[in-house]
Chain A
Amino acid sequence: MRLGVFVSDLRGNEKMLDRLKAEKLGVFLVENGIYHAVIKEDGMISPLLQKEGADYYVLTEDLQTRGFTSSEVDSKVSVVTYLDVVDLMMNDYEKLVWL
């Protein structure tokens, strides 16, 4: 299964994301989910970014809305636009989950 997972919150999604397994997994960080791409807590990157084999995307509009720029984004995460999200959803992932 090629699964795209949308994370829109800073807290509360870690357990479910950890349980979701797929041959190809993409994590879309949107709304308050963008904090996972830019914030360190006690010096550690978000546990959400440590899922093996997953691809990560962060929505640039939501990043900038919250006062961050792409230069602050963790190197594991690609910065994308709405148009990029559409292309990824349509071409790379067959099932989509909004946590």
Chain B
Amino acid sequence: MATLSIGLFSSLVGSMNSDFALKLAEAAANKGHTVNLWFSGNATTLARKGQKSFKDYSYLIEKITALPEKGVSVAVCEACAAARGIHKAEVIEGITVHSMDWYVAKAAQSDRVLHIGGE
């Protein structure tokens, strides 16, 4: 089994890239791969607690919280999150808060990296 790192930079609302990244991470974990998932830039909004479900917008909180239970390491960029008013206390349990060096370190040692840039 191999290691896949996915970097996501698109926002929770306004882009379907987030849905894609989460489904891909889940599929890779189900296949037995080690998966790292990094939220940076506008993707840090995915990590925030208290998201409300509306049928017109992607609602991913259940998928996000299920990923660590499947062994996926999910981390959010501390500076990008703080710039958007999301501090550690507001981050969903199971998601870790790191600086960018975490992601590039994980990526460097991965077998595959899929870096999904922002808008």
Contacts and interface: CB of A to CB of B under 8 A. Distances in A.
Are A and B in contact, CB atoms below 8 Å, in the complex?
A: yes
Interface of A: 6, 8, 30-31, 61-62, 81-83, 85-87, 89-90, 93-94, 96, 98
B11 interface: no
A95 to B, nearest CB: 8
Contacts of B27: 81-83, 85-86
- The prevalent SS among residues of B at the interface is mixed
Interface string B58-89: 00000000000000000000000000000000
Q: How large is the interface on B (under 10, 10 to 19, 20 to 34, 35 or more residues)?
A: 20 to 34
B24 interface: yes
Interface of B: 2, 4, 16-17, 20, 23-24, 26-28, 30-31, 33, 111-117
A8 B84 CA distance: 26
A85 B27 CA distance: 9
